[in-house]
Chain A
Amino acid sequence: MVPGDLIYEGRIRTGDNTYRDGGNVYATKVGLVNYSKDRVSVIALEGGYTPLVGDLVVGTVTDIELGQWLVNIDGPTDAILTVNEAIDKPFRTSLDMTRILDVGDLVVAKIVDLDRNRTPILSILGRDLGRVHEGFVIRITPSKIPRLIGKKGSMINMILRETRCNVSIGQNGRILINGRSRADEEIVERVIHKIEAEAHTSGLTNRIQEYLKTIKEEKK
């Protein structure tokens, strides 16, 4: 489907990436149409990131204000990380915020809320959240993140098992990879780019498993 394509004639609930005009439903993005019982939606193949509560994101700190950091998460607007969501202590003006996070730092955070302007509010209180010390980041289209995770995490767990790397997948399309060796990290990077390129095809998990094997043999 491409934007403007007619996907349903008549009354039905409109799902993701669709809109209603004159009683018919049309697509708004390039993607695959999905008909379920009571709604019709389009699964986007391309798309920017729309922040949602509960998402894990990888971002960069762009600015420090009094009591809060601004974090670029590749969304429509910057996200806000307040001091109460960063440390367990109450905020005092004597606190040196740059010691917790400085401008330019990479941070793994969770979206805990969207304020009334739909600005995401982040939190770094929790396991595996906070400033990033090592590893490197690659980017893919955010709309393909679900395929990288797979059904109940099947895809990503398989990759983790095979390569023994630590991978934090930000829903915003930034992926933090941290492995034991550079070679392991390179394998993950190649696999992720392959998934991105073939995200719209079926039987992907099995094919990626094969691909992992061939890469490993190459390296030996």
Chain B
Amino acid sequence: MSKTRKRKTSKKWERVDGRKPDELRPIHIESGVLPNADGSAYIEMGRNKIMAGVYGPREMHPKRLSKPNQGVLRCRYHMAPFSVDPRRSPAPSRRDMEISMVMRDALEPALFLERYPRSVIDVFVEIIQADGGTRCASINAAAVALADAGIPMKDLVAACAAGKYENNLILDLGDYEDKKGQSDMPLAYMPKFDKVTLLQMEGIMTQAETDEAIKMAVEGCKKIYEIQKETLKKKYGMVQGEAAAAEETPEEEPESPEEPTEEDKPAEEEEQ
């Protein structure tokens, strides 16, 4: 009896929360939660609770920061004082500024900023409750909020971390695994282009492990991508299919002025 039990425990390694190594935490996303914002999203990723609001494109203030040839994406990542224990100072920290920057760099490739010269798109992300992997969850929420704001995008951006904990490669690290683990590697990914827009790493992994972790994270991102798409469709009950959509579209045509020249230009740039 005791022999068999011993064998079991020694053979089978389990994660802190009982997940499989390549299992994501439960994710729930909602779009359009903030009526005052142009676009918004709320994400629960495990015990993370994050709100994202998008404003714009709008006139940029201060004007000197705007660019004459393209729009500017401005991100603000902020953790609420009560989001972690012990209380966190609400002043923007070094870490907040870093994450704001990496979020901007992760989201920018998905946007057509060249269409909005002298304007700004503001993304505000507020962490209400933190449980590890907030930067990835923030990017997921921000991508949905940007789409909800009706800002033209090439693709949605999904993000998820992979890492190493007790010599095992795992996906989507929680707070405990993040802190006690050997390595943590957040990754943001645009599935349609098969492009990675954010890759950071902390800790130590061998090259083979890193390659494997990237593969795992990409797979995780693809799953999140599907959830993001579902969320956006859910708001309009669009899941029933495009047949109903095709029926009603001609009604709107007389009012929608056509601008083929602008729409065609960026498309052609894409081809090169």
Contact = CB atoms under 8 A, between A and B. Distances in A.
B192 A4 contact: yes
A28 interface: yes
A4 B156 contact: yes
A46 interface: yes
Nearest to A119: B118
Contact of B57 (A33, A48, A54, A145): A48
A15 B260 contact: yes
A164 interface: no
Given A3-B156, A29-B153, A143-B150, 10 more contacts: A15-B263, A17-B263, A19-B270, A21-B270, A21-B271, A26-B155, A30-B232, A52-B259, A117-B118, A201-B248
Given A15-B258, A16-B256, A16-B263, A28 B152 contact: yes
B264 A14 contact: yes
Interface in B48-68: 56-59, 68
Contact of B38 (A17, A22, A32, A48): A48
A30 B150 contact: yes
A170 to B, nearest CB: 14
Contacts of B156: 2-4
Interface of B: 38-39, 56-59, 68, 71, 110, 112, 116-119, 147-156, 190-193, 228-229, 232-233, 235-236, 238, 242, 244-260, 263-264, 266-268, 270-271
B245 A152 contact: no
A35 B249 CA distance: 9
A19 B193 CA distance: 13
Contacts of A15: 258, 260, 263
Most buried by A among B59, B148, B270, B271: B59
A76 interface: yes
A76 B232 contact: no
A20 B260 contact: no
B245 A32 contact: yes
Most buried by B among A52, A74, A77: A77
Given A20-B268, A54-B257, A202 B247 contact: yes
A74 B38 CA distance: 11
Contact of A78 (B59, B148, B155, B250): B59
Given A28-B112, A202-B247, A17 B242 contact: no
Contacts of B193: 21
A77 B59 contact: yes
A1 B249 CA distance: 13
A76 B116 contact: yes
Nearest to B54: A48
Contacts of B190: 4
24 contacts: A1-B242, A2-B232, A3-B156, A4-B155, A4-B192, A19-B267, A21-B271, A22-B271, A26-B155, A28-B112, A30-B147, A33-B245, A33-B249, A43-B256, A76-B57, A76-B58, A76-B71, A76-B116, A117-B117, A118-B117, A146-B252, A146-B255, A151-B251, A200-B245
B252 A28 contact: no
B267 A14 contact: yes
B149 A48 contact: yes
A89 to B, nearest CB: 30
A28 B266 CA distance: 12
B229 A2 contact: yes
B244 A3 contact: no
A97 to B, nearest CB: 21
Given A76-B116, A147-B252, A33 B246 contact: yes
Contacts of B57: 48, 76
